[in-house]
Structure 1
Amino acid sequence: MTMAQRDTYTPETLLAVAVEVFIERGYDGTSMEHLSRAAGISKSSIYHHVRGKEELLRRAVGRALDGLFGILEEPGAEGGRAVERLEYVTRRTAEVLMAELPYVTLLLRVRGNTQTERWAMERRREFDHRVTDLLKAAAAEGDLRADVDLRLATRLLFGMINSIVEWYRPKDDGGGLERDQVADAVVRLAFDGLRRA
């Protein structure tokens, strides 16, 4: 059911519609008129809930970032050998990406044209650095192959995970794979190649 078919809406459903429109048209190519039409409500009704489209963008990418940073505070990311924490964070990152697919898709597409986009990109880099630190710690503990450049490994790991937004569709939306199948494959492919034999 689209927003245009609904008699009522909430800030959450308005945000979901905004994310769809931002992904389809690009943030810069989206006007409040586009959002109003997609939601099936007046622009003044949108302004009742938010100051403008940049606030919607901040809420959307903030949701994705909160999900990613929340992983780093989970017990599996905080205890044990670095390689075990790294595997945990990798699996959970793939899971969060799939659970919050439209929000993470939008996060990965911001280009830094607005203050909110620059903030989101900086936070993404911070998350990436935290994962890179885990890779370095796992290498220092002797659990990763010495013949793999860590900067390259970091880029390939994030490239593999982030590419999921381009092809993954939830099974209940007609996709063919369960989330845990994808997360298992990411961890297996990455760490069978990274772990020291």
Structure 2
Amino acid sequence: MSTTATRRRKRGHDPESVLSIAVGVFNERGYDGTSMEDLARALGVTKSAIYYHVPGKEQILSRALDRALDGLFAMIADERAAAGPAIDRLEWVVRQSVRILVDRLPYVTLLLRVRGNSVTEQAALERRREFDRFVSRLVKEAAADGRIRADVDPSLVTRLLFGTVNSITEWYQPVRGGSADDLADALLKMTFDGLRV
């Protein structure tokens, strides 16, 4: 056994493993339905061992939600989301959103389940709305450019596109679900073939 593996075993959990396991429990039981005792049991440690890594349950939630949201905001800050025809930027954003969802599946799943019951959840929902507004502007630009069918409301397009992307969290299994690129290709073919003029 390597020295690193030995050190990791002796040390127990690091902040990353605490986060990963906690997100699994939150997704299984719901954030509100999960106690620190539940987390300690899932981690196989005492509650005080968890507090060594994080001040409390809400800080774990905040880090988990940031993991999902930071990926989306890094994507929309990318030049490919800002330059070129709106329809091409929109297609790129949808493709990247699928990749982020697959790459950060447990974190995005948790994000999509928050309801605003805490300050942390409210902040995450506001960031989600900011992302939705960005996508909605892209759809409206593509419609104004005449690149999206005029007989479909841009707000509805935004909801349907990202309702489809977000639904992946409900059924996707990395082992059997195909790659992120396969999913994005199928989704784009189904949606954009019907949207483009």
**Would you call these one fold, judging by a TM-score over 0.5?**
yes
Amino acid at match of 1:139: A
Secondary structure of the equivalent of 1:163? helix
1:81-107 CA-partner distances (Å, limit 9, x unpaired): 010000000000011001000000000
- Alpha-carbon distance between aligned partners in 2 of 1:176 and 1:50, rounded to the nearest angstrom: 34
Please point out which of 151, 155, 158 is paired with 2:159.
Answer: 155
The equivalent residue for 1:93 is: 97
Amino acid at match of 2:170: E
The equivalent residue for 1:84 is: 88
The equivalent residue for 1:190 is: 191
The equivalent residue for 1:117 is: 121
- Alpha-carbon distance between aligned partners in 2 of 1:109 and 1:64, rounded to the nearest angstrom: 12
- Alpha-carbon distance between aligned partners in 1 of 2:83 and 2:188, rounded to the nearest angstrom: 18
- Alpha-carbon distance between aligned partners in 1 of 2:194 and 2:118, rounded to the nearest angstrom: 39
- Alpha-carbon distance between aligned partners in 2 of 1:38 and 1:148, rounded to the nearest angstrom: 47
- Alpha-carbon distance between aligned partners in 1 of 2:147 and 2:180, rounded to the nearest angstrom: 27
Equivalent pairs, count: 188
- Alpha-carbon distance between aligned partners in 2 of 1:70 and 1:143, rounded to the nearest angstrom: 26
Instruction: Return the TM-score normalized by structure 1.
Output: 0.93
Please point out which of 55, 62, 70 is paired with 2:59.
Answer: 55
Secondary structure of the equivalent of 1:37? helix
Give the C-alpha shift of residue 176 in structure 1. 3.7
Between stretches 74-83 and 21-30, larger displacement belongs to: 74-83
- Alpha-carbon distance between aligned partners in 2 of 1:39 and 1:106, rounded to the nearest angstrom: 18
The equivalent residue for 1:46 is: 50
Amino acid at match of 1:166: E
- Alpha-carbon distance between aligned partners in 1 of 2:84 and 2:177, rounded to the nearest angstrom: 34
- Alpha-carbon distance between aligned partners in 2 of 1:111 and 1:186, rounded to the nearest angstrom: 27
Identify unmatched segments of 5+ residues in structure 2: 1-8
The equivalent residue for 2:6 is: none
Instruction: Return the TM-score normalized by structure 2.
Output: 0.93
The equivalent residue for 1:3 is: none
Give the C-alpha shift of residue 190 in structure 1. 1.4
Please point out which of 133, 145, 148 is paired with 2:137.
Answer: 133
- Alpha-carbon distance between aligned partners in 2 of 1:186 and 1:10, rounded to the nearest angstrom: 37
